[in-house]
Amino acid sequence: MDLIHNLSVGFGVAFTFTNLLYCLIGCILGTLIGVLPGIGPVATIAMLLPATYALPPVSALIMLAGIYYGAQYGGSTTAILVNLPGESSSVVTVIDGHQMAKRGRAGPALAAAGLGSFFAGCVGTLILAGFAPPLTELAFKFGPAEYFSLMILGLIGAVVLASGSLLKAVAMIVLGLLLGLVGTDVNSGVARFSFDIPELTDGIGFVAIAMGVFGYGEIIANLAQPEEEREVFTAKVTGLFPTKEDFKNMVPAVLRGTALGSSLGILPGGGALLAAFAAYTIEKKTKLKPGEIPFGKGNIRGVAAPESANNAGAQTSFIPLLTLGIPPNAVMALMVGAMTIHNIQPGPQVMTSNPELFWGLIASMWIGNAMLVILNLPLIGMWIKLLSVPYRFLFPSIVLFCAIGVYSTNNNTFDIWMVGAFGFIGYLFYKLGCEPAPLLLGFILGPMMEENLRRALLLSRGDWSVFVTRPISMGLLAAAVLLLVIVLLPAVKSKREEAFVEE
Amino acid sequence: MKIKSQKDFFAGVMFTVVGVAFAWGATTYNVGSGARMGPGYFPLMLGIVMAIIGLVIMFTGLSVETATGDPIGKWAWKQVVFILGANLAFGVLLGGLPSFGIPAMGLIIAIYALVIIAAQAGSKHALPSVLALATVLAIGSYIAFIWALKLQIQVWPTFITG
């Protein structure tokens, strides 16, 4: 069978000493930033991008992927023990997880999160391995018109599923697209919006935007909030293993969470965060068994389902990236950046031109998930200690790593000025209630969209109807319109707002 | 007219202004036609779209009732100044500013400056612990970036190494 052959190639790549090492480093870093509140995978991956120059591309991607799904594990630890989501995707885990910890059941809660995540991660990876080849076939049928429509669908999807104001998110995407156009136009050679600054003719540095907005912007916003005493759960975590009763409740929740997370991860704009929200909502809707603890009071299903869902979503969100070359969320946008650094054009050709990279990455996710269970369950004491590191030591370190990281991308101080400017802009966005993630997506897609639009219209001699006369393109655009209409329906609109208010 | 949501209104203003600026900038390039797009075509289109969306957001900020008025709140100028100042100082010390005749001081001094300035943005910043943190980070960065990753960064001031 093809799949088995491909996977054995992948495991051959992933099981080399170097790649195992980078997988482990990625998982440890991911857990670390997952545990520490105030720093997320976007900022971390942005910081490490420059450092991956020196690595072979496979190892670099394996490490960066490990950071993303590792953060999903680590985030739940903080959520359960400190009542603070370490990652945004663990927001709902806080509700029941911390209640369980308060009742002395921190151990089973952590185990439910860890085991659920592991199962979901394995299933998600399997889906990724199974779905990628057929989707790639489809992608080869795409012309520029289809790609343009697909990007529209992706961006609309990202907006619809994001929290907060719809209009602002669309505006942020357009702003991102525009920022992506800064620099030399590939067709005419004209330097656009560069104000005669030589550094800007290469475009705005992706790393500078990501670090400025997600690193500096968030640090300023965090520090500006009045300091509150963190309630650290210092009691020793005992009795890690869930009871038989727990298992009975957990298993169906894990299965539901995994199924939901895997499917939502594939959707454009989906990924870990949305999956966790949806899974918790569904668990809450199912009927409680007699004698079961209600939700919000420490129900183990309220931990198992969202944690499985966010990990499954984290894995399957690699599908659109690896098959179509379209990043579905901000972390995947950074992965595009990482691939381009290594001269790999993300898209359907990756699987044929770099099979070791493609399958090696997928195989490494299995290994990574296994490492993470070991890192997170038996070694939980180590991470608890880390929680006592105060933020006043953390934030200067983050500022430093951002500054060094951005400087080393080009060895040019100009990038340091840029990251500072975007730090201020990021804080401005925060103040005005504009979510920055869509901006990053738009920034990555800007040049690609322009190029495909240009080609599509060149082929049709300027006739815009090409987007609706080609069936696949038409279907994609119709899906985008449908998504928008659904969200704007009054009934769905109020539900959507309700769902995001729960945070 | 009263602003009903400050956040929305000013976000709208921001998008409109930036959109108009991009669209106006785009007209200075060759716009071309659909079949033969010039470098100004796509940005002009996007700029106009963004300006329109900005206007709609502004309008919702004026018309849709909110419970609290969505105030923007106080600006954390202290944090902005110290965090971005630390970043600026790091850049100046690391690379120097040849146009102003400031020599490069290298990574280690830049790290100390960054940590000390950034720490002022927090509420607690006793100097000894800040210096200890800076020392740890300086040693750690040297090991990670210079020794392990072999990044080409100047470590010591020019007048020492020559």
Taking only the tens place, the pLDDT of each residue in A464-491 is 888 888 888 888 889 888 878 877 776 5
Interface of A with B in 182-241 (CB under 8 A): 185, 187-188, 190, 192-193, 216, 219-221, 223-224, 227
CB within 8 Å of A344: residues ≥ 6 apart: A57, A350, A354, A357
Q: Do A165 and B25 touch (CB under 8 A)?
A: no
Distance CA A319, CA A131 (A): 8
Angle between helices B107-119 and B127-141 (to 10 degrees): 140
Q: Is A474 on the interface with B (CB under 8 A)?
A: no
The conformation of residue A225, written as its DSSP 8-state character, comes to: S
The Cα of B56 is separated from the nearest Cα of chain A by a number of Å equal to 8
Report residue A31's pLDDT band, with 50, 70 and 90 as the boundaries: confident
pLDDT, residue A37, reads: 66
Confidence category of residue B1, pLDDT binned at 50, 70, 90: low
Does the structure show a pLDDT above 60 at A377?
A: yes
Of all residues in chain B, the one with the smallest CA distance to A465 is: B34
pLDDT higher for B23 or A340?
Answer: B23
Contacts of B33 in chain A (CB under 8 A): 462
Out of A175, A220, A454, name the one closest to residue B50 (CB). Answer: A175
Among partner residues B34, B57, B72, which is closest to A462 by beta-carbon distance?
Answer: B34
Q: What are phi and psi of A273, to 5 degrees?
A: -60, -55
Query: Chain A partners of B134 at a C-beta cutoff of 8 Å?
Result: 396
| A 245-284 residues inside an 8 A Cβ radius of B | none
Structural domain count of chain A? 1
Split at pLDDT 50, 70, 90, the class of A498 is low
Contact A457 B34 (CB under 8 A): yes
- SS3 call for A497: helix
Burial degree of B101 (CB within 10 A; 0-12, 13-18, 19+):
exposed
Average pLDDT over residues A343-355: 82
Q: What are A165-213's pLDDT values in tens digits?
A: 788 888 998 999 999 888 888 777 788 887 878 778 878 887 788 888 8
Average pLDDT, chain B: 84
Q: What is the pTM of this model?
A: 0.80
SS3 of A59-86: the string is HHHHHHHHHHHHHHHHHHHHHHHHCCCC
- Chain A residues in contact with B15 (beta carbon < 8 A): 171, 175
At A219, which amino acid appears?
I
Which is higher by pLDDT, B92 or B2? B92
Chain B partners within 8 Å of A420 (Cβ): 84, 87-88, 91
Q: Are A65 and A44 in contact (CB under 8 A)?
A: no
Quick check: B49 pLDDT over 90? yes
Span A255-273, average pLDDT: 78
Q: State the pLDDT at residue B44.
A: 92
Instruction: Give residue A286's pLDDT band: very low, low, confident or very high (50, 70, 90).
Output: confident
pLDDT at position A503 = 36
Closest CA to A364 of A58, A132, A116, A133: A58
B2–chain A nearest CA distance, Å: 18
Interface residue B121 vs chain A (CB under 8 A): yes
Between A286 and B118, whose confidence is greater?
B118
**Rounded CA separation A405/A47 (Å):** 5
Q: What is the mean pLDDT of residues A216-241?
A: 66
- Which residues of chain B make contact with A25, given a CB cutoff of 8 A? none
| C-alpha span between A427 and B75 (Å, rounded) | 9
Q: If you measure CA to CA, which chain B residue comes closest to A55?
A: B149
Residue A173: CB atoms within 10 A of its CB come to 27
As a whole number of angstroms, the distance between CA A415 and CA A420 comes to: 9
Checking if the pLDDT of A500 tops 70, the result is: no
Shortest CA distance from A416: residue in chain B: B91
The alpha-carbon gap from B142 to the nearest alpha carbon of chain A, in Å, equals 11
Q: Which domain, by its residues, includes A42?
A: 2-230+237-501
Asked if residue A442 lies in contact with residue A177, where contact means CB atoms within 8 angstroms, the answer is: yes
Structure tokens at A497: 């707002």
On the question of pLDDT at B48 being above 90, the answer is yes
A447 at the B interface (CB within 8 A)?
Answer: no
Give the lowest-confidence range in A23-32, A315-324, A414-423.
A315-324
Q: Do B73 and A431 touch (CB under 8 A)?
A: yes
Q: Above 90 in pLDDT, residue B52?
A: yes
Q: For chain B, say whether A463 makes contact (Cβ under 8 Å).
A: yes
Measure CB to CB from residue A399 to each of B14, B114, B130 and give the nearest one.
B114
The pLDDT value given to residue A495: 57
> Residues A146, A152, A158, A161: is their CA dihedral positive or negative?
negative
C-alpha distances in angstroms, A501 versus A162, A164, A182, A262, A495?
12, 9, 36, 24, 10
Residue in B20, B46, B54 with CA at minimum distance from that of residue A176: B46
Please report residues of A whose CB lies closer than 8 A to that of B30: 188, 190
Looking at residue A7, what is its pLDDT? Answer: 80
d(CA A500, CA B7): 18
What average pLDDT does chain A have?
81
CB contact under 8 A, A433 and B14: no
The answer to whether the CB atoms of B14 and A463 lie below 8 A apart is no
End-to-end CA distance of chain B: 65
| pLDDT per residue as tens digits for the range A72-127 | 788 788 778 777 666 667 777 877 888 888 787 888 888 888 888 889 988 988 88
Average pLDDT over residues A334-352: 82
Q: What is the pLDDT of residue B19?
A: 93
Nearest-by-Cβ selection for A433 from B11, B47, B60? B11
User: Where is average pLDDT lowest: A246-250, B110-114, B157-161?
Assistant: B157-161
Structural domain boundaries in chain B: 6-63, 77-161
Using CB atoms, which residue from B19, B80, B122 is nearest to A427?
B80
Number of Cβ pairs < 8 A linking chain A and chain B: 191
Helix (H, G, I), strand (E, B) or coil at A183: strand
Distance (Å, rounded) from C-alpha B123 to C-alpha A158? Answer: 37
pLDDT for position B12: 92
User: Is it the case that residue A269 has pLDDT exceeding 70?
Assistant: no
State the pLDDT at residue B23: 92
pLDDT tens for residues A143-159? 888 888 888 887 887 77
User: Looking at A158-167, A329-338, A434-443, B96-105, which range is the least confident one?
Assistant: A158-167
Q: What is the mean pLDDT of residues B117-131?
A: 84
Are B94 and A413 within 8 A, CB to CB? yes
